[in-house]
């Protein structure tokens, strides 16, 4: 046992040094001291250039220091606090809180996180961190591509991911799927012109691996319904109903699809199911729809 002691001590000290650098960087980040941030990163890189936390810290450094804020004049409101103005020809504009990024700095951050992912591909926090930044940039195409790449890699490791500080996720699949659903909601509420296309691309990849997942069957259907293509969306909803007949959100969406397809009898059937099975608000909504359809 004695001959292994130096190696164990070396590993322990190495971990401690890395932890010290991480804490130094975090303290400097909280203090918004960019000089101290870079010093901590450079010292850390010299001591342990392949530390996974070094790559995420560099990424955070360049992200936070590339971010700029101000007032943006746009043709849509970004919340209740947006100030509306009208120009000389009657066009309405909105003053929103704007966020911009110094692309040169941000690209440097992407270089570091890409190196980290190449060395530690099982680190889900790196992949999700990259997706988060694309979301902040409102680059929904890159956001979607990053999530699809994450799904593709996840298949190769059975979605058994590692998180910050190389901690294994206890329930990697559930954590991953819950996070992906959160990302789908962010896409949905982005109101981007290509929202439906992006939702469908991600949902299709998930369903290749988890074909019975009710939420992603629903997401796939919604991606079509956003385009008013109810005929294409309906089969996914009916599949979801087979998996979970008690899901009243699925019932409501099926009823809506049939209503839009002018299949009134089927729409009534599902609104009646919703009236019996949904929560109070869903039941009230179903009653109003039934009154309208049965006039």
At 123-133, the pLDDT tens digits run 999 999 999 99
- With a CB cutoff of 8 Å and minimum separation 6, the contacts of 110 are 59, 130, 133
Task: Identify the CATH number of the domain in which residue 255 sits.
Answer: 1.25.40.10
pLDDT of the residue at 77: 61
In a domain? residue 169: yes
In a domain? residue 240: yes
- With a CB cutoff of 8 Å and minimum separation 6, the contacts of 80 are none
Rounded Cα distance, 209 and 91, in Å? 48
Q: Residues 78-100: pLDDT tens digits? A: 655 566 666 666 677 666 566 77
Structural domains of the chain, count: 2
Which domain covers residue 164, as residue numbers? Answer: 121-210
Q: Residues 154-207: pLDDT tens digits? A: 999 999 999 998 999 989 999 999 999 999 999 999 888 999 999 999 999 999
DSSP E strands in the chain: the ranges are 67-74, 83-86, 92-101, 162-163, 167-168
Quote the pTM value: 0.84
Query: Which of 146, 181, 210 finishes a domain?
Result: 210
Mean pLDDT of 97-118: 90
In a domain? residue 67: no
Query: Which of 210, 240, 267 finishes a domain?
Result: 210
55-70 residues labelled b (16+ CB within 10 A) or e (exposed): bbbbbbbbbebbbeee
Pair of tokens at residue 77: 């409101």
């Amino acid at each position: 046992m004695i001959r292994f002691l130096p190696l164990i001590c070396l590993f322990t000290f190495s971990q401690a040094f890395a932890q010290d650098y991480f804490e130094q960087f975090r303290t400097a980040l909280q203090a918004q001291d960019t000089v101290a941030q870079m010093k901590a990163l450079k010292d850390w890189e010299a001591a342990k250039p392949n530390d996974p936390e070094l790559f995420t810290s560099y990424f955070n450094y360049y992200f936070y220091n590339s971010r700029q804020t101000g007032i943006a004049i746009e043709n849509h409101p970004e919340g209740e606090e947006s100030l509306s103005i009208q120009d000389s020809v009657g066009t309405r504009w909105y003053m929103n809180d704007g966020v911009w990024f110094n692309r040169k700095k941000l690209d440097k951050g992407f270089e570091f996180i890409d190196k980290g992912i190449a060395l530690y591909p099982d680190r889900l926090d790196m992949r999700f961190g990259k997706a988060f930044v694309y979301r902040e940039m409102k680059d929904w195409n890159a956001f979607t591509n990053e999530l699809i790449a994450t799904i593709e890699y996840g298949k190769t490791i059975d979605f058994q991911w590692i998180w910050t500080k190389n901690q294994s996720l206890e329930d990697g699949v559930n954590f991953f799927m819950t996070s992906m659903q959160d990302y789908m909601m962010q896409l949905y509420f982005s109101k981007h012109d290509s929202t439906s296309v992006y939702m469908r691309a991600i949902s299709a990849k998930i369903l290749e691996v988890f074909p019975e997942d009710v939420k992603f069957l629903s997401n796939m259907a919604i991606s079509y319904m956003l385009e008013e293509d109810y005929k294409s969306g309906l089969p996914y909803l009916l599949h979801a109903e087979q998996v979970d007949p008690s899901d009243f959100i699925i019932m409501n969406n099926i009823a809506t699809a049939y209503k839009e397809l002018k299949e009134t009898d089927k729409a009534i059937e599902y609104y009646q199911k919703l009236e019996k099975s949904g929560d109070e608000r869903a039941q009230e909504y179903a009653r109003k729809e039934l009154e309208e359809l049965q006039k």
